[in-house]
Amino acid sequence: MKKSRTNKMRRREVVTAYLMMAPDLILILVFLIAPIVYAIYLSFFDWSGLGAKRFVAMQNYKNIWKDSMFLSSLKTTGIYTVWVVILLVILSLFLALLISSCAKIVQGVFRTCIFMPYAISAVVAGLMWAFIYDQKRGYLNRLLYSLGMQKQGFISDSGQALYCIIPIALWLSVGYNAALFIVALKEVPSMYYEAAELDGASTLKKFWYITLPSIKNTTLFVTIVTTIGALQVFELIQVMTNGGPGQSTKVAVLHIYQQAFVQYKFGYASAMAVVLLIVIMIVTLIQFKVMGADNEGAEK
Amino acid sequence: MKKIKKRSISFVLTLVMLFSMCSAVAVSAEEPVEITLWTFHSFDETTEPDSLGGFWKNVGEEYVAATGANVKVTVESIPNPGYMDEKLPTAFATGSGPDVFLMCPPIMMQYVQSDLLVPLNDYYTDEMKEDFYVNVVDGYTVDGNIYSFPFNMGMEVLFVNMDALEEAGQEVPTNWEELRTVAAALTTEERWGLVTNVDNNTNMPMCFSPFVWMQGDFFTEDRRGSMMNSEAVTDALQLWRDLITDGSMPVKVPASGYDIETMLNGGAAMMVSGIWNIPSIIADESGMNIEIFPLPAPEGGKPASCTGGWSLAVADNGDPAKIQACIDFAKWLSFDNSEAAYKASTYEGLLPVRNSISERAQEEYFVGEHWDMVFSQGIIESSIPELRCPPAVNEIIRNMVVNCLADTSRPVEEFAAEADEQLKLFLETYDGEL
């Protein structure tokens, strides 16, 4: 009798839990899962988006490996991602350490200053920086010229363009990531440092053996989120260079977008999107394996 | 008694139902046909009626007032560039596309290939065919079918800052060699000698094509074969590349764009762009002396420009009543009502596409030296409709140009040969007109 009542109560609890989660689950299903499933479905069709769909089985996937533009865009995305992830993690952590070591009174000011660019949309930032980088009349070139230096092509130079976009991506998101690190640093128990000091540990050793392991989960989170974001970079590049000069800044998502909305190859673009999704999943899994998330929570 | 009561109630109810059904039928017979028009011109509650936005905002009501048609036209404004590249295809893909919409030649082919447009040949009367400029209607014709009613057109010209030209002691360039020399002479630390659309976008071929057409074409005469590897293409590529390697022209459009604002703010001394910029020149108060000239042609070549413009296309949505209502409306705007057709061109700073309106427009709207320069120098006569090939072909041309301009280490012939190969590969599975 008692057992059946307990079971009933548990069932009720489960139902209640699912009901409470339902709004979120429905949203996730409609706006996340359904589009992914539909993209996978579309990837097996030849479809201009306008007429009837024609089933082509794996043809779109076979075509991807012959599409030198997509492969080159993947390479460009890879270069962009490596630079952005490495620099962003280092820079965010450095700024977080710097701010954490400041007097409390100025910490808020610095935090606000570095967080502000995060509130700017990538489109607005891209337009603004396109003016700053302008080859003839941009502020940067005017500065170089006034210093007696030669004007640069910046985003008008196929060799420089990608490396001019990377600092903008860093500028936009360093504040957010630094804020995450600041919170993680605050969670590190001060007694660890006190004990290390008693043992005569240097600052570098304290950082290496106490700080870094203690904020491992945050580092992993920042790395993964930044990697995914970098692999999906689009607005900044579309606004600043639209993939040019030539194809020098054509990243994978821009290429997929152009295939879908300029070339009207929705089936093929979906196949490329699926490939990119798999690439992102593989990279994320590798990062999890290599960096090894501490499920019990290192930041106790 | 009860039975009688029940029966009478059911009888009354039946009568009520019958009456309501009859009245519903009567109402539906009077209900207007609802059609949706999509335009990229912006408007809101504050938009003045005597403006471009105001014209499009009220065009449906004007149509109903003028014709008494039993139609309700809902006008939706979808800002550009999202209008062409995102909103239209996604709307049609999801079955929520407009019934009638603004269309230009570069985006036409994908709708034609998908059988989404209604051929309008039957509605082009002899009177219309005589009145429309032939080459404009040609731009909307595929395999003998006309797919829209055009209402305005513009062409590419050379804008020159005459003050800068005089300062540099140069003359207006009339051929390619002079174009290079003058562009170089006008280039300073703060100003490009020449700016045009060199970015990888759908409209870029509009600026590049005239330079090819001066000596040949991208395609064979029957528009079914490739001429990408011809001298006409390689010479045009070489000219643009030379202008870039001379340092006179940017490889990427300046941040301020390739419209006349870049010239007016001193960022360019010459510009290859469209006549739609003329109202901005006239409205400018800086006093900059900008004049308009035909695009310089190479020695032995012929003058050429590119005609672009807008038209109304009718979507084949399978509803005959709607389709007919759309055709009537589009024809009214483009042809039946000269006032509407006049406004649809002049409000946008573009030329009418009909002889009968052109004269009035020249007398009333296209007044002043800038417009005189357009009408007096054979620019209109030398214009060819802009490319309206399939998107894949447009991409081949765009990639050829941008890749050639960005990578100066390889000869231009290699880029033309690559494009030729790609086009031939495309033509193996494509059986239509280019």
For the CA atoms of B234, B239, B242, B248, what is the dihedral angle to 10 degrees? -150
Of B66, B59, B61, give the one whose Cα is nearest residue B38.
B59
Identify residues of A whose CB sits under 8 angstroms from chain B CBs: 48-51, 127, 130-131, 133-138, 145, 151, 153, 155-158, 241-248, 261-264, 266
Residue A298: pLDDT band with limits 50, 70, 90: very low
Helices (runs of H) and strands (runs of E) counted in chain A: 15, 2
Cα A134 to chain centroid distance, Å, stands at: 26
Q: What is the identity of the amino acid at A60? A: N
Set of chain A residues whose Cβ sits within 8 Å of the Cβ of B406? 158, 244-248
pTM: 0.85
Cβ within 8 Å of residue B429, ≥6 positions away: none
| Residue B3 pLDDT | 53
Report the Cα–Cα distance between both ends of chain A, in Å, rounded. Answer: 43
- How many pairs of residues across A and B have Cβ atoms under 8 Å apart? 95
| Residue B29 pLDDT | 55
What secondary structure letter does DSSP report for B315?
A: B
| Residue B85 pLDDT | 79
Of B69, B35, B47, give the one whose Cα is nearest residue B313.
B35
Q: What is the identity of the amino acid at B202? A: T
Set of chain A residues whose Cβ sits within 8 Å of the Cβ of B254? 134-137
Choose between B26 and A96: higher pLDDT.
Answer: A96
Q: What pLDDT digit, counting tens, does each position of A18-69 carry?
A: 999 999 999 999 999 999 999 999 999 999 887 789 999 999 999 999 999 9
How far apart (Å, rounded) are the C-alpha atoms in residues B138 and B107?
Answer: 15
How far apart (Å, rounded) are the C-alpha atoms in residues A259 and A267?
Answer: 9
| Residue B8 pLDDT | 60
Residue A300: pLDDT band with limits 50, 70, 90: very low
Cα B268 to chain centroid distance, Å, stands at: 25
- Flag if A262 and B202 touch (Cβ within 8 Å): yes
Is A89's pLDDT higher than 60?
Answer: yes
CB B382, CB B302: distance < 8 Å: yes
Q: Least CA distance to B87: which residue of chain A? A: A261
Q: In this structure, how many other beta carbons lie within 10 angstroms of the beta carbon of residue A32?
A: 10
Identify residues of B whose CB sits under 8 angstroms from chain A CBs: 85-86, 89-90, 92-93, 110-111, 113-116, 189-192, 199-202, 250-252, 254-256, 267, 391-392, 395, 399, 402-403, 405-407
Average pLDDT estimate for A70-75: 95
Q: pLDDT in tens for each of the 434 residues of chain B? A: 555 565 565 555 555 555 554 444 444 457 899 999 999 999 988 999 889 999 999 999 999 999 999 999 999 999 877 888 788 988 988 888 999 999 998 889 888 988 899 999 999 998 888 898 877 888 899 889 999 999 999 999 999 999 999 999 999 999 999 999 999 999 999 999 999 999 988 889 999 999 999 999 999 998 889 999 999 999 999 999 999 999 999 999 998 888 899 999 999 999 999 999 998 999 999 889 999 999 999 999 999 999 989 999 999 988 999 999 999 999 999 999 989 999 999 988 899 999 889 888 888 888 899 998 988 999 989 999 999 888 899 999 999 999 999 999 999 999 999 999 999 999 998 888 88
Share of chain A above pLDDT 70, in %: 96
Residue A91: pLDDT band with limits 50, 70, 90: very high
E strand intervals along chain A: 45-46, 54-55
Q: What pLDDT digit, counting tens, does each position of A179-238 carry?
A: 999 999 999 999 999 999 999 999 999 999 999 999 999 999 999 999 999 999 999 999
Q: Least CA distance to B114: which residue of chain A? A: A51
Judge if the upstream peptide bond of residue B81 is cis by omega within 30 degrees of 0. yes
**Chain A nearest C-alpha distance from B257 (Å):** 10
Of B130, B47, B39, give the one whose Cα is nearest residue B333.
B39
The CA distances from residue B340 to A114, A250, B132, B147, in Å, are: 54, 43, 15, 20
- Closest in B254, B255, B406 to A245, CB measured: B406
| Residue A297 pLDDT | 47
Set of chain B residues whose Cβ sits within 8 Å of the Cβ of A244? 199-200, 251-252, 402, 406
CB A125, CB A172: distance < 8 Å: yes
Set of chain A residues whose Cβ sits within 8 Å of the Cβ of B110? 48, 50, 264
Locate B316 and state its tokens: 């084949």
SS3 label, residue B57: helix
Q: Predicted ipTM?
A: 0.83
